[in-house]
């Protein structure tokens, strides 16, 4: 077929700082998805976008073009409101696991399409796959049936959802164009809007273990995504949350599932509980259930009941023992004092080195790999006490992980106070 435009004309327009027309955007996204625009041409356009940015109109059109590249799901027949959550990724961020069944307990359907980990940020599907028998791949029909029966599903996005994004995401990863806010926002929101949820709460992480290192860049990303969602008719809000220190006391796969179960049983680390409840309240309010107190369902066991039904519906055994790594290695406090810093990025990279994450999409992760934290900033520690425990099936990985943790924590004299800010920094929307 003859093409409406030449790819080089679109590239040159953005290279020279011009806005792309709606027709340019529609054509180039479709043509790249079809294979009519080559990877090297799209790479040049992505770099031009990274360097010169996009207007609000361009971002909205780019997002719409990616949605139009595939199917859109429809949950209107469920007879209940839908709400979803998306996190921009962090270390120890297991919040989806207790959050989805918690919100579903209050009559809101939660269609949580999640991903796998790459690099230092963990993947929700990798964590859940440590549960014996649990499967991530569901058909649209299975997903709808589970939403009707259980109210919550956490699964992989189907191949028909925003296929343009899947191609663009892989290309951005190898061309140094991941950091563009217009490209990040359109990637996330094209999938979430195509997914068909009525309400969306975004957890935009800020800090060393996050993609966005500064509050300013995180706020810009949050505002861009909230605008895209609202323009598409999705009730959208965002929380900016701290990711300078890992969430909870675990980073990995099975260890994070175990911690999530503690939260669902009414316990768990205070920061994980706090963020789970903050996001649950936002999701319930966005879905029209703002009179409910989600904390009650953690205390009385209803959220745990929903979790068990959700896991079992996807083939998992909620009573099965979780995998445990064959080897462990302690990291001891070198002195008495107060732990004033524990760097999230270093912990995330160490977990990845131990086998909890992957370097390439095709890598296999270890279910038992990761870290357990025995102290968080603000805790008084004693020389020789455990600060961290490393877990892996392959002990030759310990050396590299320990190198990553060198300088990751700071112990100050007793009486010192860590510079701890709030977990929830701001709200957008």
Catalogue the active-site residues. 86, 165, 172, 187, 191
Element (DSSP H or E) covering residue 129? none
Query: Which residues contact residue 270 at a Cβ distance below 8 angstroms, ignoring those fewer than 6 apart?
Result: none
Asked if residue 368 lies in contact with residue 323, where contact means CB atoms within 8 angstroms, the answer is yes
Query: Which residues contact residue 61 at a Cβ distance below 8 angstroms, ignoring those fewer than 6 apart?
Result: 20, 22, 25, 26
Query: Which residues contact residue 70 at a Cβ distance below 8 angstroms, ignoring those fewer than 6 apart?
Result: 160, 161, 162, 163, 164, 194
Q: What is the DSSP letter of 70?
A: S
Q: Compute and round to an integer the Cα radius of gyration of the chain.
A: 22
CA–CA distance, 284 with 24 (Å, rounded to integer): 39
- CA-CA distances (angstroms) from residue 241 to 92, 218, 219, 426? 13, 9, 11, 7
Angle between helix 163-175 and 22-34 (nearest 10): 90
Residue positions counted in the chain: 429
Asked if residue 150 lies in contact with residue 313, where contact means CB atoms within 8 angstroms, the answer is yes
- 38 phi/psi in degrees, rounded to 5: -75, 160
Query: DSSP E strands: which ranges in 207-326?
Result: 235-242, 250-252
CA–CA distance, 374 with 387 (Å, rounded to integer): 5
């Amino acid at each position: 077929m003859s093409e409406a435009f030449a790819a080089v004309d679109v590239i040159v327009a953005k290279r020279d700082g011009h806005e792309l027309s709606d027709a340019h955007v529609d054509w180039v996204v479709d043509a790249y998805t079809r294979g009519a625009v080559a990877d090297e041409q799209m790479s040049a356009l992505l770099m031009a976008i990274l360097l010169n940015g996009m207007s609000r109109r361009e971002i909205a059109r780019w997002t719409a073009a990616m949605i139009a590249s595939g199917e859109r799901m429809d949950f209107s027949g469920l007879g209940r409101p839908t709400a979803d959550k998306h996190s921009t990724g962090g270390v120890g961020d297991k919040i989806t696991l207790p959050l989805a069944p918690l919100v579903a307990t209050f009559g809101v359907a939660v269609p949580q399409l999640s991903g796998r980990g790459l690099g230092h940020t963990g993947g929700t599907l990798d964590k859940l796959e440590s549960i014996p028998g649990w499967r991530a791949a569901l058909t649209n029909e299975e997903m709808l049936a589970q939403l009707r029966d259980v109210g919550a599903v956490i699964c992989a996005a189907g191949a028909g959802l925003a296929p343009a994004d899947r191609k663009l995401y892989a290309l951005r990863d190898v061309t140094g164009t991941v950091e563009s806010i217009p490209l990040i926002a359109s990637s996330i929101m094209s999938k979430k809007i195509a997914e068909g949820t009525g309400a969306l709460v975004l957890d935009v992480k800020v800090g060393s273990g996050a993609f966005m290192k500064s509050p300013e860049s995180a706020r810009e990303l949050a505002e861009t995504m909230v605008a895209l969602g609202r323009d598409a008719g999705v009730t959208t809000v965002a929380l900016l949350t701290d990711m300078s220190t890992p969430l909870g006391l675990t980073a990995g796969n099975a260890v994070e599932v175990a911690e999530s179960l503690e939260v669902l049983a009414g316990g768990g680390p205070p920061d994980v509980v706090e963020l789970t409840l903050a996001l649950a309240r936002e999701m319930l309010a966005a879905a029209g259930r703002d009179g409910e107190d989600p904390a009650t369902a953690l205390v009385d066991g209803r959220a745990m009941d929903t979790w068990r039904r959700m896991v079992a519906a996807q083939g998992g055994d909620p009573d099965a023992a979780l995998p445990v790594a064959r080897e462990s290695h302690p990291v001891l406090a070198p002195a008495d004092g107060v732990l004033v810093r524990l760097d999230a990025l270093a912990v995330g990279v160490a977990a990845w080195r131990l086998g909890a994450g992957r370097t390439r999409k095709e890598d296999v992760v270890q279910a038992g790999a990761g870290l357990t934290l025995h102290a968080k900033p603000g805790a008084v520690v004693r020389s020789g006490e455990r600060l961290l425990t490393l877990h892996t099936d392959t002990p030759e990985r310990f050396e590299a992980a320990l190198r990553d943790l060198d300088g990751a924590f700071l112990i100050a004299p007793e009486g010192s106070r860590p510079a701890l800010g709030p977990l929830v920094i701001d709200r957008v929307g």
